[in-house]
Structure 1
Amino acid sequence: MTDDKPMRADARRNYERLLVEARRAFAERGVDASLEEVARSAGVGIGTLYRHFPTREDLIEKLLRDRFDTQADKARELLAAEDPLDGLYAWLIGFGETSAVYRGLAELLAEALDDPESRLHASCSAMRDAASQLVERAQAAGVFRADVTVQELLLLLHGASWAGSHLPGDGGTERLMTLVFTGLRTSEQRGQRAVSAPR
């Protein structure tokens, strides 16, 4: 169901309940949580869920739309950062936080990046385009490896996001992403300083 079509009051209530229950289910059990259970918890039938969200990816995209939009806006802001390396790092940490919000999401986003039929493909492509500008700026400044593609970088960070979710305690994802990012800077940069924390 498209967002621009007006809904009856009861349909709107069902829609909002489904989002609340899906957010809770995905947070607790990951993106493979049962949609039947989501519908049951929302007090509707599975047919109602599919009328609003024809696929699991439609539902996930709706839940993450604000995060995707924020990432795109942040990329535009960080293109004006004084230090291109710090700007790229700050954006990638936000990207990692988005990828790790639900268990299994990193793998789903990685697959959607190469699947034009995926409901998440447009959002993933937009994030790739945003990252491309930041990467190219850092490469032009000679502070980021010139032989690394944006596709490779995002896949590496998806992997770090997945691995971080399996480490005990908090901060595992950011630590692994920082380790990956450090290895992708030019040798001169690795010898000079650590990357600044996102601001």
Structure 2
Amino acid sequence: MPQRIQTPQASPKSAVQRAERVDAQRNRLKVLQTADRLFGERGTSVSLGEIATAAGVGAGTVYRHFPTKDALLATVLDHRLSQLSERGAEMMRRPDPERAFFEYMEYLTGQALANRAICEALASRGDWQEPSKLEGVCVVDTPLGILLQRAQRAGAVRSDLDPNDVRALLAGCVGMSQAIESPERARRLSRILWEGLRLERNFENRNESLEPSGLRNEIAVTERSCPVCGTPLPETATGRPAKYCSAACRQKAFREKRKTT
């Protein structure tokens, strides 16, 4: 008669060890999340003891996983780099070049404003401009350059910008947030700044600044000039002044009006 194969039972000791490993992993994640938040809010001068207290764990638990603050900060920065890399790769897969570029810029701005100390630490390590040891490419500059070039080829972004210019504007957003001390206002002004990079929007603003509607109407009434090109309007047989000097100017004004409606 065949013997029944018995499944070996886990010993109580191994079950305890697994529970300890799960608990240790949970504590490590809690320490990392707390450190990420405190480094972003208060800067990298936060001590390991403060992080342990905020995470609700003992100081020994922190030192067991991260013997020094530099080791903890390096792990936090590597985690941030991984997030930046994933978002950059996602944006480069987007089919719409214009939307991908501006969404990426808004994401980078949000990260910089919410975690200024962490972004400064990443910049000081050179991870924004030098190949990452984990990824082998620049996790910020590589997608930034590709997305900018795609948007410029699509005619959505000014052609006289390069990645260095955009990175300088990003740094300006961070400096602006320090000056006005209002994260919400900084985000609003940052969105206005990125909108200013749109090629079509720049042309519209330039036309409006050179020929504001109020000034065009005033010229048309006082000097009887064409509101499009400024040419003096000739007298008509009916005595009523013409609104435009030619059919071409009339069509141009009609097209401009359609753009704004």
TM-score (norm 2): 0.55
**Whole-angstrom CA distance in 2 between matches of 1:57 and 1:124:** 18
Whether the 8 Å contact between 2:32 and 2:72 is mirrored in structure 1 is no
**Identity over aligned pairs, percent:** 23
Could you tell me which residue of structure 2 aligns to residue 143 of structure 1?
156
Residue 43, structure 1, aligned to residue 58, structure 2: yes
Q: Quick one: structure 1 residues 114 and 23, their matched pair in 2 at CA, closer, same or farther if it must change by over 3 Å?
A: closer
**Whole-angstrom CA distance in 2 between matches of 1:70 and 1:28:** 23
Equivalent residue letter for 2:170: L
Could you tell me which residue of structure 2 aligns to residue 126 of structure 1?
139
- For residues 102-181 of structure 1, the aligned pairs below 5 Å read 102-111=115-124, 112=126, 113-114=128-129, 122=135, 125-164=138-177, 166-181=179-194
Greater Rg over alpha carbons, structure: 2
Whether the 8 Å contact between 2:40 and 2:117 is mirrored in structure 1 is no
Long gaps (5+) in structure 2:
1-17, 206-261
The Cα RMSD (Å) is 3.5
Could you tell me which residue of structure 2 aligns to residue 100 of structure 1?
113
SS in 2 for 1:126: coil
Aligned residues: 181
Aligned-residue offset at 1:156: 1.8
Could you tell me which residue of structure 2 aligns to residue 56 of structure 1?
73
Could you tell me which residue of structure 2 aligns to residue 18 of structure 1?
31
* Higher RCO structure (Cα 8 Å, ≥6 apart): 1
**Whole-angstrom CA distance in 1 between matches of 2:86 and 2:38:** 23
TM-score (norm 1): 0.69
SS in 2 for 1:100: helix
SS in 2 for 1:147: coil
Whether the 8 Å contact between 2:130 and 2:138 is mirrored in structure 1 is no
Residue 192, structure 1, aligned to residue 204, structure 2: yes
| Structure 1 residue ranges, 4+ long, deviating more than 6 angstroms after superposition | none
Q: Deviations over 1:39-89 (max 9, x none)?
A: 454313353242597251322332x366425522431343x11xx333311
Whether the 8 Å contact between 2:129 and 2:140 is mirrored in structure 1 is no
Aligned-residue offset at 1:160: 0.4
Whether the 8 Å contact between 2:92 and 2:143 is mirrored in structure 1 is yes
